[in-house]
Amino acid sequence: MYMEVISEEEWIALRQYLGLSLLQTEIVRRLFCGKSHREVAREMAIRPRTVRTQTDRLYREFGVSHRVQLVLYLLASLRESWEQEGESLYV
């Protein structure tokens, strides 16, 4: 279902580290895999507008303006969360 670049354990850690809701996490996971807003909405049985609203909120919250920046922010945050736990993770 998802690319295995980020494991389930890492998604959980990232969600906790960034304070993402379950909805935001599931949307981001799918966007991370390159899915369109429509594809995400269809898979999750939600409205495309909900995907857009949640994505826009994340852009504002993280100070990014598009998907590539969001993905890079997530990867940097994942690395930071592991470093705070004293583990070394190269993403």
- Write down the architecture of domain 8-84 according to CATH: Orthogonal Bundle (1.10)
User: Average pLDDT per run of 10 along the chain, which is 91 residues long?
Assistant: 72 91 95 93 97 96 94 89 65 45
Distances in whole angstroms, Cα of residue 17 to Cα of each of 10, 26, 42? 10, 15, 28
The torsion angles phi and psi of 63, rounded to 5 degrees, stand at 70, 35
**Hey, where are the domains in the chain?**
8-84
The pLDDT of residue 91: 45
